[in-house]
């Protein structure tokens, strides 16, 4: 991040109408233009949360984020740079029916159009480039997706400073802050399950998320560090169940076990193993990776992985690792398995 940049986030909202994928464009009142829904980051807000909030405010639609689509960077008349992060977001019919949108001083109208027509409607080239990235996914047969969010527990009290069993080692003050900060960002993907190692530091990490969402915490000894160190882990069973379920889920575990989790996701989806396994699993305490999978075709493999650094306080950030093809990218890019996303 730079001191002079303005950060924003948005999404290509899409739904199927009469058997064809349509995307949502917004007609802005003040500027007389047509754009993809997006908006500026509020103080203390993460970029994924910004995308979800702005879409709700501009369109009245409640959405969950899908696959990352990349970043647009362009200069503003003021001389500052604007950096916008985008995701795809599938819109349910229920969300459409519940929308309370009315034309206002910011948004004059909403319009659902085909991808082809949207290319002609959009007023700005950076928006067209993001739309083209979404269109490439469609061409590859990728539509509905779901995320598995792999979370490394927050910063724990050091082993040397703890006299009890390792599984009972609690979070340090910093870890407690990290656990609270996770809620704002992770809820942007609307998880429906929370699975965790029964270790205290893992359960405590996801406790604020469970409290905020009402999702019960499922403790599973199969992904504990004790089981992994003794060779009795059941990572394949735990991860395989979540892949087969096809629902957004959080899996909280330990640093040494995370590489096996990513590896099992790759094996379960017939994704060739590569450096992305190491990258996605190399998390600091309190960080997480979002692994995006196809909800309709398990043979599509891992669609994309984005990795988010830990935070003590809410502030906009996003960090994505390079893709499995080991394409070298800047630290602020979004990477996918199939192709590098244009900046």
Q: In this structure, are residues 330 and 322 in contact, taking their beta carbons and an 8 Å threshold?
A: no
Task: Please indicate whether residue 338 or residue 52 has the higher confidence score (pLDDT).
Answer: 52
Average the pLDDT over 50-66 and give the result: 97
Average the pLDDT over 10-36 and give the result: 96
pLDDT at 151 over 90: yes
Task: Please indicate whether residue 316 or residue 100 has the higher confidence score (pLDDT).
Answer: 100
pLDDT at 78 over 90: no
Average the pLDDT over 158-163 and give the result: 90
Using CA atoms, how far apart are residues 325 and 275, in angstroms rounded to an integer?
8
Structure-block tokens of residue 201: 């530091």
**Would you state the pLDDT for residue 312?**
60
Average the pLDDT over 30-51 and give the result: 94
**Would you state the pLDDT for residue 291?**
97
Model-level pTM? 0.89
Average the pLDDT over 98-114 and give the result: 95
Structure-block tokens of residue 66: 């899908």
**Would you state the pLDDT for residue 169?**
96
pLDDT at 333 over 50: no
Nearest to 261 by CA among 285, 284, 289: 289
Which distant-in-sequence residues (6+ apart) come within 8 Å of 78 by Cβ?
none
**Would you state the pLDDT for residue 300?**
82
User: What are the pLDDT digits (tens) for 279-328?
Assistant: 899 999 999 999 999 998 777 899 999 999 997 654 433 333 323 222 22
- Above pLDDT 90, what percent of the chain? 79
Burial of 257 (0-12, 13-18, 19+ CB in 10 A): buried
Using CA atoms, how far apart are residues 225 and 30, in angstroms rounded to an integer?
56
Give the containing element (helix H, strand E) for 152.
strand 145-152
**Would you state the pLDDT for residue 327?**
23
Average the pLDDT over 166-182 and give the result: 96
Residue 132: CB atoms within 10 A of its CB come to 14
Strand ranges inside 58-182, DSSP E? 68-75, 81-90, 107-114, 145-152
Residue 230: CB atoms within 10 A of its CB come to 9
SS3 322: coil
Task: Please indicate whether residue 104 or residue 336 has the higher confidence score (pLDDT).
Answer: 104
Task: Please indicate whether residue 299 or residue 108 has the higher confidence score (pLDDT).
Answer: 108
* Domains with residue ranges and CATH for the chain: 6-139 (3.90.79.10), 145-336 (3.40.50.1240)
SS3 105: coil
pLDDT band at 275 (very low <50, low <70, confident <90, very high): confident
Residue 215 is given by DSSP the state: P
- The mean predicted confidence, pLDDT, of the chain is 89
Give the containing element (helix H, strand E) for 263.
helix 258-268
User: What are the pLDDT digits (tens) for 201-242?
Assistant: 999 999 999 999 999 999 999 999 999 999 999 999 999 999
**Would you state the pLDDT for residue 343?**
27
Residue 120: CB atoms within 10 A of its CB come to 9
Average the pLDDT over 58-87 and give the result: 94
**Would you state the pLDDT for residue 3?**
56
Which residue is it, tokens 């050091």? 158
**Would you state the pLDDT for residue 4?**
82
pLDDT band at 62 (very low <50, low <70, confident <90, very high): very high
pLDDT band at 98 (very low <50, low <70, confident <90, very high): very high
Q: 150-184 as b/e, with b when 16 or more CB fall inside 10 Å?
A: bbbbbbbbeeeeeeeebeebebbeebbbbbbbbbb
């Amino acid at each position: 991040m730079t001191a002079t940049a303005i950060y924003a986030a948005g999404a290509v909202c899409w739904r199927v109408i009469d058997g064809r994928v349509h995307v949502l464009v917004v007609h802005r009142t003040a500027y007389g233009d047509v754009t993809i829904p997006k908006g500026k980051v509020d103080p203390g807000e993460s970029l994924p949360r910004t995308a979800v909030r702005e879409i709700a405010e501009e369109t009245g639609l409640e959405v969950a984020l899908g696959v990352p689509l990349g970043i647009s960077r362009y200069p503003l008349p003021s001389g500052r740079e604007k950096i916008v992060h985008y995701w795809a977001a599938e819109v349910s019919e229920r969300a459409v029916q519940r929308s309370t949108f009315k034309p206002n001083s910011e948004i004059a109208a909403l319009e659902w159009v085909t991808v082809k027509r949207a290319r002609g409607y959009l007023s700005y080239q950076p928006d067209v480039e993001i739309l083209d990235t979404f269109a490439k996914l469609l061409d590859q047969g990728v539509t509905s997706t779901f995320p598995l969010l792999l979370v490394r527990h927050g910063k724990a009290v050091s082993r040397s400073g703890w006299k009890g069993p390792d599984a009972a080692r609690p979070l340090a003050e910093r870890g407690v802050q990290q656990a609270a900060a996770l809620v704002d960002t992770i809820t942007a993907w609307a998880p429906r399950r929370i699975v965790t190692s029964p270790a205290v530091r893992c359960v405590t990490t996801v406790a604020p998320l469970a409290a905020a969402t009402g999702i019960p915490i499922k403790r599973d000894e199969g992904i504990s560090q004790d089981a992994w160190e003794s060779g009795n882990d059941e990572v394949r069973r735990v991860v395989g169940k979540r892949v087969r379920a096809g629902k957004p889920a959080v899996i909280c575990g330990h640093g040494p076990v995370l590489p096996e989790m990513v590896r099992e996701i790759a094996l379960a989806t017939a994704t060739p193993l590569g450096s992305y396994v190491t990258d996605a699993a190399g998390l600091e305490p309190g960080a997480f990776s979002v692994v995006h999978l196809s909800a309709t075709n398990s043979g599509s493999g891992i669609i994309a992985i984005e990795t988010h650094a830990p935070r003590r306080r809410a502030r906009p950030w996003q960090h994505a690792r390079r893709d499995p093809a080991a394409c070298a990218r800047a630290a602020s890019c979004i990477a996918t398995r199939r192709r590098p996303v244009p900046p």
